[in-house]
Every structure is written in structure tokens, then in C-alpha cells.
Amino acid sequence: MTSLHWADSRLEVHRLVVGPYANNVFVLRCRETGESVLIDAANEHEKLLELASRLNVKRVLETHGHHDHIGAVVAMREAGYEVAVTAADAPMLKKVGYDVFIDDAEIIEVGNLRLLAIHNPGHTPGSISFKVEGTPLLFTGDTLFPGGPGNTKSAGGDFATIIDSVDNKLLTFPAETIILPGHGVDSTIGNERPHLQEWVARGW
């Protein structure tokens, strides 16, 4: 099973697509120390546990609390992995549990790598993205996809809020920044930025 999705001299990104909603699960690995973090324990926990064991995952980061992104949380926690989520989305995990909170602007260390946590409300109140410092990589969860922002029709979603999050927190990154979303294929900030007003006009 080839999971390697992106790599440079310092890091690897592994990707699995799991579950009925074709969720992207990413593992970010520091090549210098071998330590990894798993982003969104979505589904198919057997596959995720195998990947986490193989890549020396230390903890799980949840981009938000929607059910399709947390289906493997129970199994991951039972296996001893710490699960982190924002305080605003923590109530969505009350049935599966969580261990620690992620704060806006927090720096999360993965070996010698540093992830900047960026609070992006709109898809959910506590949605969060992760920018890998010193690289072009930006994990956007369900806040920004190729072709626009994530769905805001669910409880806790708000279109004006997600547009503000995308415009002022994500589209400010350089054009070559690579977007790794919660579903679907990668894109870049440069590909998406010109279409902001189209998304505002269509209203979703």
C-alpha cells in the first residue's frame, strides 16, 4: 500500500482516502526524527492504526468535529493516541472523546517540524487549518477546497464567516502554497484566490 503523497528532504506527507465520504487522512512525518502526526482520524480505523504504527504517529489532530472526520477517534484513543480538537468543536466529540485542545496560533511540534494552527470558523465554529512552517503545505480540512469553501448548511456553519476565514486567514499565503483539503485533490492558493468573488456571488 503506497501512501506517500508529498515529500521533500525534511518531511513526508502520507495520505489515505477512507470511508463513505472519501475523507483524506494525512500523516505528516519528520524525516529527521521519524515522528509523525495524523490529521483527521476519519474512518477505517484498522488502516489508520497500521499507518500510525508504521510511521511512528505521536498524536491525532482533528480539523473539525463533523462525524465523517472522527469515525476512527475511539479506536485511536483506545490504542493510546492523544486526540486534539478545538474547544469550540469539542462538544461534537462528546461521544467519541478527546484529550487536549488546539488553540488558534498554537505551534504544534512534530519532531523538528512546526505546524501553525489557524482558527477558520465557518464550516464549523472550531474548524482549524495547519500550515507547515518553512514548507508550502497547508492542511485546510473542510474550510477550503479546489473550487471554493466548504459547506456551511450544517448546524454551526455560516457562509459569511467562512468567506472571512478563507479571505483573511488562508488566501493571504503565497500563491505557491499547496492546499491539502479534507476531501478531494490538492490545489494551490494561486489557483483559488482569483475566484473568491465568484464564490461570494454564488453564495456557497
Q: Which of 93, 152, 87 is nearest to 122 (CA)?
A: 152
pTM of the shown model: 0.98
Q: Which domains does the chain have, with CATH numbers?
A: 4-202 (3.60.15.10)
What CA–CA distance (Å, rounded) separates 107 from 110?
A: 10
Q: Which of 201, 85, 190 is nearest to 144 (CA)?
A: 190
159 SS3 class = helix
Q: What is the pLDDT of residues 111-153, one digit of tens each?
A: 999 999 999 999 999 999 999 999 999 999 999 999 999 999 9
Q: What is the pLDDT of residues 39-53, one digit of tens each?
A: 999 999 999 999 999
Q: What is the pLDDT of residues 157-170, one digit of tens each?
A: 999 999 999 999 99
